[in-house]
Structure 1
């Protein structure tokens, strides 16, 4: 008889939570499937049954951590294309983008991926495609539509997206890797940082 769906879902969630905690504490190489199974109070076979192997488990953790944040933010970016007040709404979006990038779960995951990039390059590639690349693509699509509306002067949407992203996050994204997202958020005026980035972006891409 198969295990009830609810119980299976709870086991899977527990395995993910414990694996995430151990990976962040000890790294990918320093965490064994045996340790994950013990922490989750399940058998090693249960871990394999749910996730296949340790790498697939790490990928599942990456997906879980990024999906909600990236999906929600991508929807926000898409909605910006219909703005009636570009500077105001772009500044609000920029501030939210900075907060998302500096959220501690995102920073912790980024640390983990960076630390394992040389040993598990496919994880690094998957992270790039699921987070930065999706976000930049969403910016590029939005800026293309704003250009079509005559609000921006866009020739290379992807380049404009990259300029916008880095004008907003600036040094904060690197500082967060060493100091932690909360510490950086406490030290920076998010609205001022966002407004400054938008001001420079519109100076280069705005259309009067």
Structure 2
């Protein structure tokens, strides 16, 4: 029998995890304190202890919750790729959605947090990579392989094509955000994603001579 969590507990968890992400990112695991998290969340420290055993547990849950958000988007995107197996993807739409989810959502903060504590929590690095960026690249690669077989893209290595696509639509802003925490403006993210998708399509357009 599944136990339904009290909505008040759920709200407290959400406040704590959001506050913990901010505090851990700003101060690192070593210097962050549960007192600081409690103050950021506007809750009593005892509330945190009631839900999480210690700082290590809270850190893990903070990262895992963010990974779950990223993985959920990836699963949705992958399902859509597979559902459109008989038609070419609208790459401009895919580019905008992927860039916005990555650059305007919690992904950059999560990357910075995981990298910051990668020595202490190497397993979280592996889980993040598998659940988010590598899953996206695999989904793109599979889609490009299908589009190549159907003649919508020129013959190519689909994995390399996926890497080109990802960097063209958001690579520079993702690097900048990872190193500095700077968040690109929404209008810029959309514009660069569309320009990147257009550049990709020009580079990978099928050669009309192949069909002559």
Question: TM-score with structure 1 length normalisation?
Answer: 0.75
Cα distance in 2, alignment partners of residues 202 and 21 from structure 1: 43
The answer to whether the 8 A contact 1:141-1:157 is kept is yes
Instruction: State the alpha-carbon separation in 2 of the partners of residues 109 and 56 from structure 1.
Output: 16
Contact 2:152 2:206 in 1 (8 A): no
Q: 1:42 aligns with which of 35, 40, 44?
A: 44
Q: CA, structure 1 residues 51+146, in 2 after alignment: closer, same or farther (shift >3 Å)?
A: farther
TM-score between both structures, scaled by the size of structure 2: 0.74
CA contact (8 A) 1:78 1:142 kept: no
Taking the aligned partners of 2:118 and 2:16, their CA distance within structure 1 comes to 23
What is the SS of the residue equivalent to 1:170? helix
Partner residue in 2 for 1:197:
200
Matches within 5 A, 1:61-140: 61-81=62-82, 82=84, 86=88, 89-103=90-104, 105-140=106-141
CA distance in 2, matches of 1:193, 1:155: 18
Tell me how far apart the structure 1 counterparts of residues 186 and 29 of structure 2 sit (CA, whole Å). Answer: 26
**What is the Cα-based RMSD across aligned positions, in Å?**
3.5
Question: 1:16 touches 1:61 (CA, 8 Å); kept in 2?
Answer: yes
Q: Are residues 1:171 and 2:172 paired? A: yes
Aligned length: 203
Runs of 5+ unmatched residues, structure 2: none
Q: Distance in 1 between matches of 2:195 and 2:203?
A: 12
- Asked whether the 8 Å contact 1:143–1:157 carries over to 2, the reply is yes
Deviation at 1:116, TM superposition (A): 2.0
